[in-house]
Structure 1
C-alpha cells in the first residue's frame, strides 16, 4: 500500500506548489490580502509593499491576491524576477500589454511613450493596471527611483496604475534609502510566520486540500513539536510535515504522532548541524 492509499489522500499535501488550493489563509495572510485589495481598489494609492521572511508564503499570497482581482476591472502583470534595469522591466511590461505582433520600442524614451499610450487605452476601457514585482529586494536603487516615475501617470483624480513590491525584509531597508520612493509607499505589511494555532490549521487545510476526509491526521502534541522545530514558517512546516507523514507510513502508525515528528525534527536538526560544522 503506497503512502497516498495508506493515508487516504488524492495527492501529496506538503509539496512545494503555487497551487492556490493549498493556500492557507491564516490571520496574517488574510490581513495581507485585505490590505493589498484595499490599496488596489482605492486607485488613489500609488505603491504597496509586502515583505516577509523566506518561506513565509509571500509568493503564494501574491498569487492568490492576483487571482482575486476581477479581470474586467484590472489588468495584472507579475514579474517573478525583479533583478533587471528599469528599461528592461518596462520592456517586459510592454511585452505583456501590447497586442501580438506590435513591435516593442527600442529606446527608453520611445518605450515610455508607448507605455503611456497603452496605459491610456486601458484607462479608457476602465481597467486599472496592477504591476507586481516579486523578489523586489533585488532591485537596484536606480531601478527603484525610476520605477517611482510610473506613479506620476494619472488622470481625473485617480492613478492609472498601482505598483506592488514583494520581497524579503531587506526590501524595507532598500526603500528607506530611497526617500522619493519611500514617501510614495501607501501600504507596508510584513508577513510573519504562523502561530501555533494557525500551524495546526495549516496542516489540516493542506491535508484536506489533498483529499483527506477531515484533515485530521496529526496528534495535537505532534503539531506542537512541529511548531517548536519550525517556528511556524510554512515552508519548514511543509518539509517537516512531508517527512513525518512518510515516517508514520513506513512505521505503520495510525496517525502522525509526536514520536514521528520528533524523530524527523531531530534528524533534520542533526543534518543542519553537520552542514554548519
Structure 2
C-alpha cells in the first residue's frame, strides 16, 4: 500500500528469510563464519542457538547460498518434532532419496549409501536441523549416532543444529552428544548502533533514497524491541503504514509511541 508514497520498490520489513535483506551484524557475521568453518573443515556437529526472531533462519539461508551446489549435498529439516524412525525417514526424504524404507536398519543403510556415493563424487553431505529444540531425547540420540558416519581421519556427515536457547540445555543434558558438538555459537539481538544500521540497510535494499525514520523514532524502536530483528520489522512496517495514512514526511517518535501504547505490537 505504501510503496510509492515512501519511494520503495518493495516492502523493506517483511518477516521472511530473504537473503537479500540479511544484515551482517557483528554477531551474525561470527555465527555465519562458524557455520562455514564447521562445514568446510568437516567438524561433525555444530550448533547455532538464539532467541526467537534473532535471524537464525535467514542466516541459515545465507549460509546455504555460500556453499557451492556442486560440492555439497544438503538436507534441511524444518519440523523435527518426530519420533526416531520418522526423523530418519525425513532425513532420507530431504536428501531426495526415493523408496524410503519402513524400518530403521534399512533407513540407515540407505543414508550410508548416499553418503558414500557423495564421497565418490567429491561431494560433502550436510544435514541441517532447524527448530532443533523440538527434538526429543530419543531422536537426539539418533542424531548422535548419525555422527558415527566417519572414516579414520574425517567425518562423512556434518550436522548443524539450529534452535532457541533451550537447545543448549538439551545438548548439555546429553554428554555424549555435547562432546561431539565441536562448533557452537549463540546469536544475540542487535545493539543500538546495529539496530540503526539495520533499519537503514533494509530501507536502501527496498529502494529508498533517504532515511524516513527520525533519530528519535529509531531510538524508540530500539527501546521497545531491544534489537530483535523480527520485532524491529513488525514495528517499522506498521509505522510506515500509519505514516502513509497520515501523510507524514518522515516517521516521528510519536508514531512509534502511538503504536506501542495502542498495544498493536507486542
Identify the TM-score tier after normalising by the shorter chain: over 0.9
CA contact (8 A) 1:145 1:180 kept: no
CA distance in 2, matches of 1:32, 1:263: 35
Q: What TM-score, normalized to structure 2? A: 0.95
User: 1:96-134, CA deviations, whole angstroms, 9 ceiling, x for partnerless residues?
Assistant: 3355xx422221111111111111000111111110001
SS in 2 for 1:249: helix
User: 1:1-60, CA deviations, whole angstroms, 9 ceiling, x for partnerless residues?
Assistant: x511110111211121122111111111111000100000101x1111111111111111
Return structure 1 stretches of 4+ with deviation > 6 angstroms: none
**Is 1:225 aligned with 2:230?**
no
CA distance in 1, matches of 2:99, 2:257: 58
Alignment correspondent of 1:49: 47
CA distance in 1, matches of 2:107, 2:90: 11
Q: What TM-score, normalized to structure 1? A: 0.92
CA contact (8 A) 1:37 1:65 kept: yes
CA contact (8 A) 1:47 1:186 kept: yes
Alignment correspondent of 1:177: 173
**Is 1:194 aligned with 2:182?**
no
SS in 2 for 1:148: helix
Query: Which ranges in structure 1 are unaligned for 5 or more consecutive residues?
Result: 273-277
**Is 1:142 aligned with 2:142?**
no
User: Which region of structure 1 is more displaced relative to structure 2, 15-24 or 50-59?
Assistant: 15-24
Matches within 5 A, 1:1-277: 2-43=1-42, 45-98=43-96, 102-155=98-151, 157-214=153-210, 216-268=211-263
Cα offset, 1:86, TM superposition: 2.4
Question: Over the residues paired in the alignment, what is the CA RMSD in angstroms?
Answer: 1.5
Cα offset, 1:81, TM superposition: 0.7
SS in 2 for 1:212: coil
CA contact (8 A) 1:22 1:209 kept: yes
Cα offset, 1:155, TM superposition: 2.0
SS in 2 for 1:155: coil
How many residue pairs end up in the alignment? 266
SS in 2 for 1:159: coil
User: 1:137-191, CA deviations, whole angstroms, 9 ceiling, x for partnerless residues?
Assistant: 0101111112111111112511111100001101011111111101111112111
User: 1:49-83, CA deviations, whole angstroms, 9 ceiling, x for partnerless residues?
Assistant: 11111111111111111111111211111101110
CA contact (8 A) 1:98 1:118 kept: no
SS in 1 for 2:147: helix
